[in-house]
Amino acid sequence: MSRSLQVSMVLLSCLGFALDLEATHPLPGPHFLHCEQRGDAVTLTWDELGISESVHGATLLRDGLLLALLAADSSRYHDIAAPSGKHTYRLEIFLKDPGGEQPTLITAVECEADVPGAQGIFCNVLGGVAVPPRVAITWEHLSPNPAVVSIRIERDGDLVGELEPTATHFEEEPLSGEHLYTVIGVVRSAEPAPELIVGSCLATFSPPVIGGLIRGDSNGDEESDISDCVLIVLYLFGGGGEPECLKSADVNDSGRIELTDAIGLAQYLFVGGAPPAAPFPDCGHDGTPDDLTCDFYAKCYNPPPP
């Protein structure tokens, strides 16, 4: 056998061994851990490179203390109530041991987050039905701090209010979704743009549904149960009264009240059939034009503001 052929065979054998080794013992991730701080919450994200069946799982620690046990394929964690101050987060990945012993730590990554000290700051969303909704931000009085000359309110980094230094309250019409409010004390100083961050908090608002109905609740008692099936049958065949919201009795959204509506609702309630058509199970509007009416549905009725 020639020397060049021997070398080629050795190289091929090494390549095959390397491929087998990589398939048995991959190099699992993550290769990075990212900390994003918003208010008193920290969102941690990491990549999934190399995650395979060989990975046993992962642990997440905050300042050396166990915070969570994670699945091998996870890539995100939301620490919703981190205390104020600097924190070190550490993500550890463990490899399965074929011998049944303890999993082996194979890689770890860290990141840091600095959560501002919130001095009694709170975000609340008020009203929303008979009263117009408002987001209300409250915080502790900054006095006696003569250096503070004004209070600045920011929403997601944008200025939305500027108040007297004695202020402890701010309100505005809420925006849909989650928003970060930050209260900042502007300090009298020769330095440019001096600031004293009081704290941050998150406000979440979902606009209420005005009017509408819930399908499957034909008798308007705010529940879908056998009594709704009975009402539909009595309305069709037994001379029962007409539902105040005919659309809610149209369980399958066919545009007509039929026996199939009662049957379909019973199948959903007792044998795992398909649920009623939208809107269900929350208030909403019928998106399908038909001749059915809905004169009144108590649960979804929101009177106009006074």
> Are 108 and 135 members of one domain?
no
pLDDT for 13: 43
- Asked if the structure places residue 216 within a domain, the reply is no
236 and 132 co-located in one domain: no
pLDDT digits (tens, 9 = 90+) for 203-228: 888 776 667 888 988 888 888 888 89
Say yes or no to pLDDT of 190 above 60: no
Same domain, 26 and 96: yes
Asked if residue 14 has pLDDT above 70, the reply is no
Q: In what order do the strands lie in the sheet with 148-155?
A: 158-163, 148-155, 177-187, 195-205
In terms of domains, do 71 and 142 share one?
no
Regarding predicted confidence, which is higher, 40 or 234? 234
- Tell me the whole-structure pTM to 2 decimals: 0.40
Domain edge (last residue) among 205, 235, 263:
205
> What integer pLDDT is reported at residue 25 of this predicted model?
41
211 within some domain: no
pLDDT of 80-107, one tens digit each? 656 667 889 999 888 776 666 677 787 8
Helix (H, G, I), strand (E, B) or coil at 183: strand
Q: Please tell me the distance from the alpha carbon of residue 160 to that of residue 184, in angstroms, as a whole number.
A: 12
Find the domain containing 250 and state its range: 226-300
pLDDT higher at 146 or 65 = 65
User: Residue 21 pLDDT more than 50?
Assistant: no
Residues 174 and 82 in one domain: no
Exposed, middle or buried: residue 120 (CB in 10 Å: 0-12, 13-18, 19+)?
Answer: exposed
CATH at residue 191: 2.60.40.10
> What confidence score (pLDDT) does residue 297 get?
77
Does residue 177 belong to any structural domain of this protein? yes
Same domain, 31 and 99: yes
**Per-residue model confidence (pLDDT) at position 201:** 85
Q: Is residue 221 part of a domain?
A: no
Which among 71, 94, 115 is the end of a domain? Answer: 115
User: Which of 172, 205, 238 is the C-terminal boundary of a domain?
Assistant: 205
Residue 147 in domain: yes
Do 158 and 176 lie in a common domain? yes
**DSSP, residue by residue, 33-74:** EEEEEETTEEEEEE--TT--TTEEEEEEEETTEEEEEE-TT-
Same domain, 195 and 239: no
Enumerate residues 6+ apart whose C-beta is below 8 A from 32: 46, 47, 109
In a domain, 215, yes or no: no
Q: Is residue 248 part of a domain?
A: yes
% pLDDT > 90, the chain: 16
Q: Has residue 7 been placed in a domain? A: yes
| 134 in the same domain as 36 | no
Same domain, 295 and 253: yes
Q: What is the mean pLDDT of residues 131-142?
A: 83
Are 256 and 197 in a shared domain?
A: no
**Number of domain units in the chain:** 3
Work out the number of other CB atoms within 10 angstroms of the CB of residue 6.
10
Cβ atoms of residues 7 and 15 within 8 Å: no
Residues 107 and 174 reside in one and the same domain: no
Give per-residue pLDDT as tens, 50-70: 555 667 778 888 888 888 888
Average pLDDT over residues 24-35: 66
